[in-house]
């Protein structure tokens, strides 16, 4: 395969995103022999630190340092990437809030194809890349063909590509591409980030979470889950629909637009298991899922699955736990 594979790696405070290793794994799925190049943008010491951190995993790291890229504004990053990427490149992004912002527009400006939220890559057949995606909230999967003859921008689903084990350090070299990028401006300007209000509870630090979803049906039933959490000495968290319906505050949301949690034990109650929710769960906790629908996607990722009505199961579980603890 002649096209170069690039992986755009986001970083915060000089620490590269977890996605860096996932993108690497994804690149290897495209072509086992490939040596993808990482691209990092930013400015100053943080950028340098990020580059150093990537040297173990990536053979080559392209660094783009530019004042305007201090905060990753997708519109500006795109212009920078378009300036440095060779034609026909394959660019891998994580399908995060940033990847969603960057990917589609980047593909247009590169004249490349774009596939997003890819959960598996099956390989290349001539000029066709074969990938797997999911649709209908994860209820079905689909085989997708992507014509990469003019390049491609591929967004990988966070957490779908397991980092490779036992790879030897790549001893990557850092290439400074900053000069290829001139002054950057765009019709969208970053102002500031408003950090979510410090909540009464920081679920990202909790070891045991009882998490609820739409399956709880009514706001009044949240109490049932709270009782279980109390009995277990755990903390209540939830998926997005619960926050949209205003049953719990945003600080309790686990997911790509909520908190990232790393518990030891995760009880998923009435949660269907959309990937946005699962994206917020890291560290491979012991997960028990209770859901009325035997086909709920959550059962694919949980360790233990129980098909039952949460509204009946939880109170009984709570009662039994209380008796056990006594």
Nearer to another protein, 147 or 176 (CB): 147
In DSSP notation, 230-248 reads HHHT-EEEE-HHHHHTTSS
C-alpha span between 227 and 234 (Å, rounded): 10
Stretch 188-227 residues interacting with another protein (CB under 8 A): 188-196, 207-208, 218-220
C-alpha span between 156 and 278 (Å, rounded): 14
- The radius of gyration computed from the CA coordinates of the chain, to the nearest angstrom, equals 22
Q: Out of 83, 164, 175, 186, which residue is the one contacting another protein (CB under 8 A)?
A: 186
**Residue 278's closest CA among 207, 184, 211?**
211
Stretch 103-132 residues interacting with another protein (CB under 8 A): 103-109, 113-117
Q: With CB under 8 A as the contact rule, which of the stretches 22-30, 49-57, 163-171, 314-322 interacts with another protein?
A: 314-322
Site for another protein contains 75 (CB under 8 A): yes
Binding mask 257-276 for another protein (x = CB under 8 A): xxxx---xx-x---------
Task: Map residue 147 onto helix, strand or coil.
Answer: strand
> Least distance from C-beta 111 to another protein, angstroms?
10
**Size of residue set near another protein by CB under 8 A:** 96
C-alpha span between 167 and 164 (Å, rounded): 7
Q: Out of 61, 225, 302, 310, which residue is the one contacting another protein (CB under 8 A)?
A: 302
Site for another protein contains 161 (CB under 8 A): no
What is the largest distance, in Å, between two alpha-carbon atoms of the chain?
69
**Residue 101's closest CA among 72, 135, 125?**
72
**Residue 76's closest CA among 68, 85, 86, 84?**
68
Q: With CB under 8 A as the contact rule, which of the stretches 33-41, 47-55, 140-148, 173-181 interacts with another protein?
A: 140-148
> Least distance from C-beta 197 to another protein, angstroms?
9
Nearer to another protein, 45 or 218 (CB): 218
Stretch 29-68 residues interacting with another protein (CB under 8 A): none
DSSP state of 13: T
C-alpha span between 118 and 305 (Å, rounded): 25
Only one residue has tokens 């300036």, namely 83
Site for another protein contains 232 (CB under 8 A): yes
Binding mask 276-295 for another protein (x = CB under 8 A): ----------xxxx----x-
Q: Out of 145, 175, 262, 282, which residue is the one contacting another protein (CB under 8 A)?
A: 145
Tokens of 222: 């949240």
Site for another protein contains 179 (CB under 8 A): no
């Amino acid at each position: 395969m002649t096209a170069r594979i690039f992986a755009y790696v986001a970083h915060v405070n000089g620490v590269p995103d977890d996605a860096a290793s996932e993108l690497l794994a994804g690149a290897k799925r495209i072509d086992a022999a490939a040596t993808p190049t990482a691209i990092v943008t930013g400015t100053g010491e943080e950028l340098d630190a990020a580059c150093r951190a990537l040297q173990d995993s990536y053979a080559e790291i392209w660094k783009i340092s530019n004042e305007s890229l201090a905060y990753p504004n997708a519109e500006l990053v795109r212009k920078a990437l378009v300036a440095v990427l060779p034609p026909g490149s394959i660019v891998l992004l994580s399908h995060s809030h940033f990847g969603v912002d960057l990917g589609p527009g980047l593909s247009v400006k590169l004249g490349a194809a774009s596939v997003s939220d890819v959960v598996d890559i099956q390989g290349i057949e001539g000029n066709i890349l074969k990938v797997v995606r999911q649709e209908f909230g994860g209820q079905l999967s689909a085989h997708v063909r992507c014509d990469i003859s003019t390049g491609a921008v591929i967004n990988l689903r966070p957490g779908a590509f397991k980092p490779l084990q036992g790879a030897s350090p790549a001893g990557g070299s850092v290439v400074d591409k900053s000069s290829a990028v001139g002054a950057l401006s765009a019709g969208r300007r970053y102002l500031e980030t408003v950090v979510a209000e410090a909540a009464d509870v920081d679920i990202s630090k909790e070891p045991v979470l009882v998490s609820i979803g739409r399956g709880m049906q009514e706001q009044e039933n949240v109490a049932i889950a709270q009782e279980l959490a109390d009995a277990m000495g755990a903390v209540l968290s939830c998926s997005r629909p619960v926050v949209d319906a205003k049953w719990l505050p945003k600080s309790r949301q686990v997911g790509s637009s909520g908190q990232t949690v790393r518990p030891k034990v995760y009880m998923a109650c009435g949660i269907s298991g959309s990937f946005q929710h699962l994206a917020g769960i890291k560290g491979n906790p012991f997960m028990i899922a209770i859901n009325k629908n035997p086909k709920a996607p959550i059962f694919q990722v949980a360790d233990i699955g129980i098909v039952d009505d949460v509204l009946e199961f939880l109170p009984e579980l709570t009662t039994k736990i209380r008796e056990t603890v006594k």
